[in-house]
Structure 1
C-alpha cells in the first residue's frame, strides 16, 4: 500500500479546521407523485435501485418478495435492490403515493440500509417521523422548481438531507439488533475517515514525511490488530483498506492529470511514488491507459472516458 503521508488525522488543530472530503455519486430515477384509480395494479417487477415509497392519501397493498404489506396514508416502504414487488389499491379506492428510486456509492450508508430487515414503516415509526419533514419539503415544490441545473442541484441537496435523516433514524432503530455489528460499522467508518484524512493531508497539502504511515499505523492508533482491521473493513465496505486507498489515489491522480499546471513527474511525487515509472505502471494497471494518454483525453477537446475502479488487491 503506497501511503507516504502525514500523521495528522485531519481534525481541528490550532487555527486550522479540516472538513471531511465527500466523494459520493448519487443517481436518482423515476421520482414521481401519482394518483391512481381503485382498479389500478402494477405487476411484479424488480430493479437494481433502492426505492422509498410513501403513501399520501388512501391505502396501498404492496407485495414484497411474496409478503403483503398494507400501507396507509403516512406509511413508508423501503425496498432494496432485487426485491420483487407489486402494488394495488388496498381498499379498491383511489390513492396517492410518492416514490424515489436511487442508488448511492456510499458503502457505509448501504451497509446500514442492508442491516435493516424491516420493509414497512408506519406513520408513527421513528424512521417515518424523522424523514417526513424532508418528504414534505420535496412535495411542496412544483416539479418545475427542479428543472434546469440549479433545480437539479436543489433536488439533490434535499435528497441528501433526506438521507441524513434516514441515517440517524435507522442507526437508532438498528442499534438493538446487533450491538456487535453496529460497532463494526462504526469502526470501519473510523478507518475510512482516517484514510481520507491521510489522503487530504498528503495529496491536497503535500505534507509528506520520511516515515510512511499505512494501515498498520491506523490499526495501532485504534488499538486493534492489522488482520482485524482488514476483516472489519472488508465486511462493511466489501473491499480491503488497501483497495480503498487505491481508489482514493486513483481519484486524486485523475484530478491532478486533468490540471495542466502539474507535470506527470510532479504528480507522481505528490502521490508518494518513488519515481514516474512506478506511477505510470500503476496508473495503467488501474485504467488501461498511461497517465499521458489519460491527460490528453481529459482535456476539453478530448473525450474523457469513465475509468474503472482499481482492481481488488
Structure 2
C-alpha cells in the first residue's frame, strides 16, 4: 500500500496566499502485510523450524507458547509480544502441553528510519508488563475486536486494518525509541538528526518539483546543514550511518519516485514530466531515468500503463 500520490503542478511561485498556511511533511511509505492470522491450536501442535524475509509480530492471547529463535527458547505468556527480524530461524510449540492462542502478522516496510531502529534492537521478547507491550496493547485489542474480524474482508475493513497497523507502528516507534534512548542517548540523537535531514530533503524535493528547479542541482544539503548548525561532512556522515546511503542518493530516490508516479499518469507527456521535474530537456531526463532504472521513461510508462509493475511479495504461512 502506498500512502502518497504523485505531486501535481502547484500554483505559480509568485502566487500570494491570504491567511495562514501549514505545510505538512510528505508521506511516502510502502507497507506490505502478509499472513495475518489469529489461531487457536491444541497442546500437541508444533510449527517446524523456518525463516522468512519479512518482520513478524507474534502476540500471545492465551495459554503458553515456546518460540525458539536462533537457538534461544523464549517462554511466551498472554500479553507477551515477540518481534522477529527477517532471516531469524524460529519454531513454535506449546509451552506447557496445553492449547494456546496467538495473533501473528508479517510485514515489509520501506521506512529506513523505522527499520534502522528495529535493526538495532537486541530484544526479541517484550513481556506483557513492559513499556513496549503495554503501549501497543490497545491497538492490538482494536485489531482483534469482533467488529474488526467481521469486517476484515471488505474494502473498508482492509483500509481500517492498514490504518491500525500504521498506528501500531507509531506506538512501537514511541515505545522502542524511549527504551533505546535510555540505553544509548548518543545513538538515538543521531537517529533523530537523520530524520530531520530526511524530512528537510523531502520538503526541498517537493518544492523544487513544484517550482521546476533543475532536478540534479541545488539539492539542499548545504542549506540543511546550516539550518541544523552542523557541517556538511557531519550531515553526510550521520545520514549515511542511519540510512546506509548518502543524502544525494536519497534525493535521487525522491525524484525517481515522483518520476515513476508521473509516468504512470497518462495525462502527462514525458516532455511535460521532464519540465515539471526541472530537467533542461527531455534527453537529459531520459538519460538520468535510464541511469536509475535501466530503461527509458517511455518503456517504463508502457509497462506501468498495462499493469506490469513489480510483483508483490508472496504471503507467508506462519
Give the TM-score normalised by structure 1: 0.87
The DSSP-based 3-state class of the residue aligned with 2:65 is strand
Q: Is 1:123 equivalent to 2:128 in the alignment?
A: yes
1:30-75 CA-to-partner distances (Å, cap 9, x unmatched) read 1111111111121211111111111111111111111111111111
Write the distance in 1 (CA, Å) between the matches of 2:186 and 2:151: 44
Unaligned runs of 5+ in 2: 1-12, 312-318
Query: What's the CA shift for 1:285?
Result: 1.5
Residue 202 of structure 1 contacts residue 270 of structure 1 at CA under 8 Å; is this kept in 2? no
Note if contact 1:51-1:79 (Cα within 8 Å) is conserved in structure 2.
yes
The 1-side partners of 2:145 and 2:283 are apart by 56
CA distance 1:160–1:262, change in 2 (3 Å): same
Distance 1:260 1:196 in 2: 25
User: 3-state SS of the aligned residue for 1:176?
Assistant: helix
1:256 aligns with 2:257: no
Find the aligned partners of 1:170 and 1:20 in 2 and give their Cα distance.
23
Question: Is 1:88 aligned to 2:93, yes or no?
Answer: yes
Say yes or no: does 1:293 pair with 2:302: no
Partner-residue secondary structure (3-state), 1:70: strand
Query: 2:47 aligned with 1:42, yes or no?
Result: yes
Which residue of 1 is the match for residue 117 of structure 2? 112
Q: What is the aligned counterpart of 2:310 among 299, 306, 312?
A: 306
Give the structure 2 partner of residue 173 of structure 1.
179
Query: Residue 269 of structure 1: CA displacement?
Result: 2.5
Contact kept, 8 Å, 2:49 with 2:90, in 1: the verdict is yes
Report the equivalent of 2:8: none
Please report how far the alpha carbon of residue 120 of structure 1 lies from its aligned counterpart in structure 2 after TM superposition: 1.0
Moved over 6 A (4+): none
Structure with bigger RCO (C-alpha 8 Å, 6+ apart): 1
Greater alpha carbon shift after TM alignment, 86-95 vs 220-229: 220-229
Give 2:151's aligned residue. Answer: 145
1:159 pairs with 2:165: yes
2:219, 2:251 within 8 Å by CA — same for their partners in 1?
Answer: no
How far is 1:207 from its partner?
6.5
Secondary structure, counterpart of 1:124 in structure 2:
coil
Matches within 5 A, 1:1-12: none
Kept in 1, the 8 Å contact 2:60–2:101? The answer is yes
Cα distance in 2 between the residues matched to 1:111 and 1:212: 28
Q: Give the structure 2 partner of residue 267 of structure 1.
A: 273
Measured at CA, do residues 193 and 14 of structure 1 come closer, stay the same or move farther in structure 2, by a change above 3 Å?
farther
Q: Which of 197, 200, 207 is the aligned partner of 1:194?
A: 200
Q: Which whole-Å CA distance do the structure 1 matches of 2:202 and 2:125 have between them?
A: 35
| Distance (Å, rounded) in 1 between the aligned partners of 2:262 and 2:95 | 55
Quick one: distance in 1 between partners of 2:273 and 2:126?
A: 50
Q: Which runs of 5+ in 1 are unaligned?
A: 1-7, 308-313
Partners of 1:167 and 1:218 in 2: CA distance: 25
Cα 1:281/1:34, change in 2 over 3 Å: same
SS of alignment partner, residue 33 of structure 1: strand
* TM-superposed deviation, 1:277: 1.6
The superposition leaves residues 136-167 of structure 1 with CA deviations (integer Å, 9 ceiling, x where unpaired) of 11111353411132221111111111111111
The residue that corresponds to 2:28 in the other structure is 23
Shift of 1:297: 3.6
Query: What is the root-mean-square deviation in Å for CA atoms of aligned residues?
Result: 2.1
Q: Is the Cα contact below 8 Å between 1:51 and 1:100 reproduced in 2?
A: yes
